[in-house]
Each structure stands twice: as C-alpha cells, then as structure tokens.
Structure 1
C-alpha cells in the first residue's frame, strides 16, 4: 500500500468516527423530548391577613349640661305647691302640721320631677368611631403541575402558571420561570 492510500484510509476512518458520533448525538437530540405535556394545573393559595382601619360616624346621646345641680328650683316650687295644698286641709294645729307636711312632700316631689326632666334632656352629637378589621384574602403562591413525559406522569411545583407544555432539559422537566421580555 502506498502512503496516499494509508492516509486516505486513516482520514476516512476518522471521518467515519466523527460522523458516527455526530449522528448518535443528533439522534439523541431528535429522540429526547423537548417538552412535557401539561395534564393538570392546581393553584396553591395562602390566606393573607391585612389589617384595615374602618371608621363610621355614630350619633351619641349625652345628658345636656345641668344649670341647677341641686335642683333647688324644683324643690322650692314643689314646696310652695305642697304648702298651699297642705294649708287647705284641717284647722288650727292640724292645719299647721298639714302645711309643713305639704311643704316637705311638695319639696321632695318637685326635686324628683326636676331630676327626671334633667335626665331626659339629652343632646345628640356625632362622633367618629374607628376600629381595626382584619381583611382576609387569598394569594396564589405557586402551582402544582401534573405532566406527561415519555409516557410517564409526574408532578412538579412551579412559581408561574404554565401553558400546554413545560420545557425539558437533559431529560428533566425545567421549572425555571420563563424570562419576561422587557419593554423598551
């Protein structure tokens, strides 16, 4: 054999090995799935509690300010009326006793009437009343995704809601969130 033939055989052998290895790699790339089919997606939620201040205007009744705390006017007017009525009863010492009793009873009655009137005298004002209320809401924190890859089903958790497929890298489902295109 001459040298050129040996060179040709060596170069041909090397080319065959390189082409064969490339073909095997290409075949693996072609036969390895690039995506897994999504079968089901279930949202994972957590309850979020947010305190909020709620205020309302409320009508509040207060007793009106009293000008006569000791109810002197009611006692005096009642005493006079009671004394006049007591004076109409009996005669002599009985008349005097009836007048004194009428003054005492009338004074007490007048005092109580004024007290009831003062307690019933109210002023209505509007006051703002506030309280903290905890608002509860649901927040999606992830997704459990059931997928089918090479005839087998599996479940992965993702931070994003997938579409109809999930990407596969090196024969394993990739759960990395897709990059969001920036707006220029």
Structure 2
C-alpha cells in the first residue's frame, strides 16, 4: 500500500504540474504584447511666418519753394546787364542793334542762371521709413512614427516622440499619455 500511495502521489504531482504548465502556457500564449516596437520617428515641421515692422531714418533732400517761378528777376537783370554791355559795342545804328542783342542774350542768360540757382536751393530732412518683413521659423507639429506590433508594421502620427516603445491596451496603441 505504501507503494501504491507513493505511485499515486507521484502521478498526482505530475498531473498537477502538467496541468499548471498547460494553463500557464495557454495564459501566456493568449496574452497580447504590452508594447509596440518603434522602428522610426520623423518630426513633422511647419514653417510659421511672423510679420514685424522694421523702421529706419533716411536723409531726404527737398527743394526749397520757388518764389519767382518764371525767373522774371533773372531775366530782367540779365537783359539790363546785357543791354548795357551791348551798348558799349559799336556806334550808330550798330550800337542800337548791339544793345538789343545784348538785352535779349543777357535776358536769356539771366533766366537760365536763376533757374540753376533755384534748382540747387535745397535742404535735407530726416524721415522715418518703415516696411513690414516676415520672420520665418520651423515648428514641430507632430511626429510620424513607424512601429511593429505582433509581426505587423504600421504608421501613426503622434503629438510627441514616443521613444523606443508605444504602450498597447486591448490590442490598440495608447497614443495619448495617461494623467
């Protein structure tokens, strides 16, 4: 009887051990992975533009307002001086012709002299000139992640870099961090 008890005990222990091993094997075999393996992470960037105003002071040349727009003073003074000079030349009727020619020529020269003087009568002011420029910079808006889960490859966009693994719950990737 001792022998049959020992054999029974041994067979019972073997049966319990085999049953436990089988149950553990089935339990472990039915379990899904807890993590997907990350294969590649690529940041997704977006170029953002920010307008800003840039101002600088510049020197601006202005022409002074002209008081004698038709250069009458220059023409008159030139005609008088030219007439006086023409009167000094020649004699008789030639003198009259020289006086008239001197007055006409002097009037023209006086007109042009006053025109040049008025054109060069300028002043300089400093003015602020502004323009809008665009500053650009790149901002990471997400991450394209390639992963492997249970022998299958997939791709997903995430708001953060997941590192080497992505958690899995109920066969689904856990993409958002839990509080």
TM-score normalised over the length of structure 2: 0.75
Q: Distance in 1 between matches of 2:122 and 2:74?
A: 19
Q: Deviations over 1:69-118 (max 9, x none)?
A: 33233223312221122112221122112112211221121111111121
Cα distance in structure 1, aligned partners of 2:167 and 2:59? 64
Cα-to-partner distance string for 1:36-67 (whole Å, 9 max, x where unaligned): 22221111122323332222222211112334
- Once residues 148 and 167 of structure 1 are traced to their aligned partners in structure 2, the CA distance between those partners, rounded to angstroms, is 12
* 1:159-178 equivalence runs, <5 A: 159-176=159-176, 178=177
Give the match for residue 121 of structure 2: 121
Give 5+ residue unaligned stretches, structure 1: 1-18
**How far is 1:168 from its partner?**
1.1
User: In the alignment, which residue of structure 2 is the partner of 1:76?
Assistant: 76
| Compared CA separation, residues 75 and 161, structure 1 to 2 (3 A) | same
In the alignment, which residue of structure 2 is the partner of 1:152? 152
Q: Output the TM-score relative to the length of structure 1.
A: 0.73
1:43-122 to structure 2, matched below 5 A, reads 43-122=43-122
How far has the Cα of 1:24 moved from its partner? 8.3
TM superposition shift of 1:25: 9.0
Aligned-pair Cα RMSD in Å: 2.6
Aligned length: 158
Note closer, same or farther for the CA distance 1:116–1:38 as it changes in structure 2 (3 Å cut): same
| Partner-residue secondary structure (3-state), 1:38 | strand
Distance 1:165 1:105 in 2: 99
